[in-house]
């Protein structure tokens, strides 16, 4: 069995994170994944499953075909204006405030999921 697609997907995940200028901690929090697991993915010690692909694509507006196969553009369409503004503002915050914002977003997602 050929492992090249798994390796390629792992590398593309790291590419996405770097393109968004997010740390492993920041990126992993958005998709509710441990930063240790993400680190394992990026160094190709962990496999990438369909659930992770879907989470990354929906959370960061990533083109699923690009992530899985390396074809097309990295992002599904031009980044959403609100998303771009949010990322830009988030990057300007002190790390302790970034952590607070991520915590609050996770709480909001929990509330949303209960409905």
List pLDDT tens digits, range 19-43. 998 999 999 988 989 999 999 999 9
Does pTM surpass 0.85? no
pLDDT band for position 79 (cuts 50, 70, 90): low
Q: Are 58 and 34 in contact (CB under 8 A)?
A: no
Task: Residue 35: give the domain boundaries.
Answer: 4-114
3-state SS of 27-85 is HHHHCCCCHHHHHHHHCCCCCCCHHHHHHHHHHHCECHHHHHHCCCCCECCCCCHHHHH
Question: Which has the closest alpha carbon to 72: 17, 12, 21?
Answer: 12
What are the pLDDT digits (tens) for 90-102? 888 898 999 999 8
Number of structural domains, the chain?
A: 1
Distance of CA 86 to the CA centre of its chain: 15
Query: If pLDDT is split at 50, 70 and 90, which confidence band does 7 have?
Result: very low
Which domain CATH number covers 37?
1.10.260.40
């Amino acid at each position: 069995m050929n492992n090249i697609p798994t390796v390629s997907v792992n590398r593309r995940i790291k590419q996405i994170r770097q393109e968004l200028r997010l740390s492993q901690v920041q990126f992993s929090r958005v998709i509710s994944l441990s930063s240790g697991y993400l680190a394992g993915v990026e160094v190709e010690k962990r496999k990438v499953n369909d659930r992770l692909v879907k989470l990354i694509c929906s959370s960061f507006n990533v083109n699923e075909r690009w992530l899985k196969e390396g074809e097309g553009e990295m992002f599904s369409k031009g980044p959403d204006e609100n998303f771009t503004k949010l990322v830009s503002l988030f990057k300007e915050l002190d790390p302790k405030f970034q952590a607070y914002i991520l915590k609050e977003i996770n709480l909001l997602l929990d509330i949303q999921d209960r409905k």
